[in-house]
Homo-oligomer: A and B are copies of this chain.
């Protein structure tokens, strides 16, 4: 069987008309001879609406019941999608996560896929049916329903594609692909034909919300080519494939002719406005002080994106700065305050700044090419944009700037690296 997995996000199945259009894609693939597995999210805002109902009956809904509740959204989608396929003359069958043999482990609302028993899916595919699977859900031990956390439908699609040995997986959403920068900000941003898994992971880390990072990691380790494309336009999107120039993630299959990595070293820019900059200043410059602070943040489960230590002149103190997601800010601040209290001297203070933006340049081989970093500094300096913090790896250079200057920084860098579409 030549299997293809198609995944449709919530906006692509938001109403009956959109469901019909999405079903037409599944029907066309089936008619072209593919064995088709479709993974769908809940329609439009249904997940949020259900969670809102939950909060109206309970101040702190138990996680098991929250999972049971929100999983109903995807069930509505799969049933409607299957009906729409049948209406187009293509037999289809809807399967909930448990019916599809998706077994999970781990906590409710943030479970992981433990294994997939593909018997039912394979027999339905052999019978010629399009199989429509509810994303984001599976069965936990004892037959309870568990969800995979936000963006979990991507994970369902990639995990199914890997397990079924699919040729590739297409992720349909309301974006046309991966761009050199957010086209809502940079009007002449260019759509990439392809991008490597690693660069895509860096882009996600840098704030691009196209795909859930866990799914990209899974596709990378399975060597499964992904295509990110629009549910509302016919054109091909962006292929996410193993980066041959890095050679460390061999694809199971010969890369498609068109799925080559772009030649430019810089493939895309990202801007992230959802983080805060936390600093602890006037920390006594003694061995173990930084370690104690980091241990406390890690103990509180705070993910950090950038970590910077700087000496503060002649006062024999240092300061540590971190970036973290806005949703963790309150807990991170509390953990830092506790760390400050326990430091000798009692002079350490915690500072927070949420009027910042993180602008990132993503590509490959930056370590080999220091001119990329040099051009970032030069470009921002010429634009009179002050860099508050910087971090660089082989795949990403991120600069923290004033929030008010974030988009100007993005625009200047997009021009400087020649990423614009040719008119």
Chain A contacts to B: CB under 8 angstroms: 16, 19-20, 23, 50, 53-54, 56-59, 61-62, 64-66, 68-69, 71-73, 75-76, 78-80, 82-84, 86-87, 92-94, 96, 98-99, 120, 142-145
Looking across the interface, which residue of chain B has its beta carbon closest to that of A82? Answer: B65
Q: Which of B57, B75, B96 contacts A20 (CB 8 A)?
A: B57
Q: A71-B75, A99-B143 are in contact. Are A16 and B57 (CB under 8 A)?
A: yes
Whether the Cβ atoms of A87 and B66 lie closer than 8 Å is no
**How far, in Å, is A38 (CB) from chain B's closest CB?**
13
Whether the Cβ atoms of B68 and A94 lie closer than 8 Å is yes
Q: Which of B57, B72, B82, B144 contacts A72 (CB 8 A)?
A: B72
Whether the Cβ atoms of B82 and A62 lie closer than 8 Å is yes
Residues of B within 8 A of A120 (CB): 142-143
Q: Which of B56, B75, B83, B96 contacts A62 (CB 8 A)?
A: B83
Q: Which of B57, B68, B142 contacts A84 (CB 8 A)?
A: B57
CA distance A86 to B68 in the complex (A): 15
Residues of B within 8 A of A76 (CB): 50, 53, 69, 72
Residues of B within 8 A of A83 (CB): 54, 57-58, 61-62, 65-66, 69
Q: A16-B57, A94-B68 are in contact. Are A62 and B80 (CB under 8 A)?
A: no
Residues of B within 8 A of A65 (CB): 79, 82-83, 86, 92-94
By Cβ-Cβ distance, the 4 closest A-B pairs, closest first, are A69-B79, A16-B56, A58-B83, A68-B79
Whether the Cβ atoms of B78 and A58 lie closer than 8 Å is no
9 contacts between A and B (CB under 8 A): A16-B53, A54-B80, A57-B87, A58-B83, A58-B86, A68-B79, A68-B94, A68-B96, A69-B76
**How far, in Å, is A72 (CB) from chain B's closest CB?**
4
Residues of B within 8 A of A82 (CB): 62, 65, 68
Whether the Cβ atoms of B94 and A57 lie closer than 8 Å is no
Counting chain B CB atoms within 10 Å of each CB, the highest count among A19, A61, A92, A98 belongs to: A61
CA distance A309 to B73 in the complex (A): 54
CA distance A398 to B66 in the complex (A): 50
CA distance A65 to B84 in the complex (A): 10
**How far, in Å, is A98 (CB) from chain B's closest CB?**
8
Residues of B within 8 A of A16 (CB): 53, 56-57
Residues of B within 8 A of A94 (CB): 65, 68
Counting chain B CB atoms within 10 Å of each CB, the highest count among A19, A76, A83 belongs to: A83
CA distance A18 to B28 in the complex (A): 46
Residues of B within 8 A of A69 (CB): 75-76, 79-80, 83
Whether the Cβ atoms of B75 and A57 lie closer than 8 Å is no
Whether the Cβ atoms of B50 and A62 lie closer than 8 Å is no
Q: Which of B58, B78, B80 contacts A53 (CB 8 A)?
A: B80
Whether the Cβ atoms of B58 and A87 lie closer than 8 Å is yes
CA distance A404 to B69 in the complex (A): 47
**How far, in Å, is A220 (CB) from chain B's closest CB?**
33
